[in-house]
Amino acid sequence: MNEIGLGYGRQSIKFTFDDRLTILSVDRADEKPLTDIEIGSALDSPIASSPLDELINPDDSVLLVVSDATRPTGSAQVINLIVRRLIQAGIAVNNLAIIFATGIHRPVTPEERVELLTQFIVQRVRTFDHDPYNRGSLVSLGATETGIPVEVNKALTEFSKTILLGGVNFHYFAGFTGGRKSICPGLASAETIERTHMLALDFERGGRKAGVGTGLLDGNAVNEQCERVAELVRPTFGINTVVDELKRVVRVYCGDWRLAHRTGCDSYLNDHSVAIQTRRELVIVSCGGFPHDINLIQAHKALEMASYACNDGGSIILLAECRDGFGRADFLKWFESTDSVELEQRLVEKYEVNGQTAWSLLTKAERFHVQLVSDLEQDDVRRMRMEPARNLEEAMKRAGDYQSGFIMPRGAAVLPRLTS
């Protein structure tokens, strides 16, 4: 028998299993967290850009864009290094500010600010949240060539230099996180977010639009339009990190906001894809713990990855604490639909970003027997067409006998790819 720890919130669930189950993970045993000196070396040798120190003048004002608590990026370490460099370059502290690229997520809590930035930074540098619904905090930069209005946080026009910090990970329809997502959806208006994200769906033929999906950038309409929005902002410098299971920075790609991100994505796809010969009848998937399972909308990303490794009609057991609930108070309304076809029609009539996540989740609940181990109310889980389980042992008993299966301990960070 074998044993593994599976992340659940800030805890680890011990699971004992036999040889019928295979662990799907990437072997990064030799990968160590980067030191401050190593990150500094990356800043000194950026991709397709002059070093940051040469891009900043003492009379500049600098806006640092940081992800919220749903995106582990190693920001506490990196932002401390960046702030020190900027001050050494002659930037006054009162000419520095940090904005949290929350998109349509909730605001960052005081406790999260400290965890994301450290108490030292929070006490010294002004921080604030983006609000995509507050018209007074937004500015229009025109429109993309396809007519999408480009409305972003006006702070992007009030500072002379903008530095983006994001994390590279898979995204189920934007291809990857990081890079341009710090601007759109991170600092965009609700309308701009909606208009770019709805490009993921094919409203004429149904389902996802061709070219849209996990690990895809070229030909991905969502990625391309988000890049168009970022182009109009013209960020000064981009920093993209890759973190390990302990949320420590193990790789950093910095420089030109677009090319550094693309380099990081290419490397991540190569390093975090796992070849499988066949799909199997059972997949046990953990989001990897907090913050990947902070709410159901985030946890869905691990379910997406598990779907690539499971037979149609098979069983998926998803471990996701969901301490913040669904991620949106109105998320459940989408499951009033009879099935995914009806839900998709509702999106055609009135699109909402989180309705697309609900549709994607429901299509999986229809294809697979999905059991959810979480802190959500059992009746709410059933409304979403999943079966609630109190713990992993109960879910395994319900799964019944099986010939073979997979365990995905960091679900959102591994892409199963069929070799045949």
Structural domains in the chain? 2-26+274-418 (3.90.226.30), 36-270 (3.40.50.11440)
Question: How many CA atoms, within 13 angstroms, populate the side-chain half-sphere of residue 208?
Answer: 20
CA 415 to chain CA centroid, nearest Å: 14
Q: Region 228-232: what's the mean pLDDT?
A: 96
- Is pLDDT above 80 for 29? no
Note the pTM of the prediction, 2 decimals.
0.93
Q: How far apart are the first and last CA of the chain?
A: 30
* Residue 13: predicted pLDDT: 96
Say yes or no to pLDDT of 28 above 80.
no
Q: How many other β-carbons are positioned within 10 Å of the β-carbon of residue 91?
A: 20
Q: Cα-flanking dihedrals φ and ψ of residue 161, to 5°?
A: -135, 145
Mean pLDDT computed over 43-68: 96
Residues 6+ apart with CB under 8 A from 312: 367, 368
> Stretch 155-170: mean pLDDT, rounded?
98
Asked if residue 340 has pLDDT above 90, the reply is yes
Please report, as a single letter, which amino acid is at residue 48: A
- 255-285: per-residue pLDDT in tens? 999 999 999 999 999 999 999 999 999 999 9
**CA separation for the pair 160, 95 (Å, rounded):** 10
Q: What percent of the chain has pLDDT over 70?
A: 100
- Average pLDDT, integer, range 56-80: 96
Helix 340-349 to helix 353-367 angle (10° resolution) is 170
Tens of pLDDT, residues 173-197? 999 999 999 999 999 999 999 999 9
Q: Angle at Cα 224 formed by Cα 356 and Cα 266, nearest 5°?
A: 100
User: What CA–CA distance (Å, rounded) separates 117 from 329?
Assistant: 27
d(CA 412, CA 5) in angstroms, rounded, equals: 16
Residue 92's pLDDT is 96
The confidence band for 30, taking pLDDT boundaries of 50, 70 and 90, is confident
Return the residue matching tokens 């090319």. 259
Region 112-138: what's the mean pLDDT?
Answer: 97
Tokens at 189, concatenated:
């208006």
Whether the per-residue pLDDT at 420 is higher than 80: the answer is: no
CB 321 within 8 A of CB 8: yes
pLDDT for the residue numbered 212 = 96
Encoded tokens for 26:
């990437």
Over range 297-304, report the average pLDDT: 97
pLDDT of residue 171: 96
Per-residue pLDDT reduced to its tens digit, 365-377: 999 999 999 999 9
Contact criterion met (CB below 8 Å) for 406 and 309? yes
The backbone region for 60, taken as left when phi is positive above 0, alpha when psi lies in -120 to 50, beta otherwise, is beta
Give the pLDDT confidence score for residue 163 in this predicted structure: 98
Structure tokens at 356: 């697309």
Average pLDDT of span 343-371: 96
Tokens 């799907």 correspond to 24
- In the predicted model, what is the mean pLDDT of residues 2-12? 95
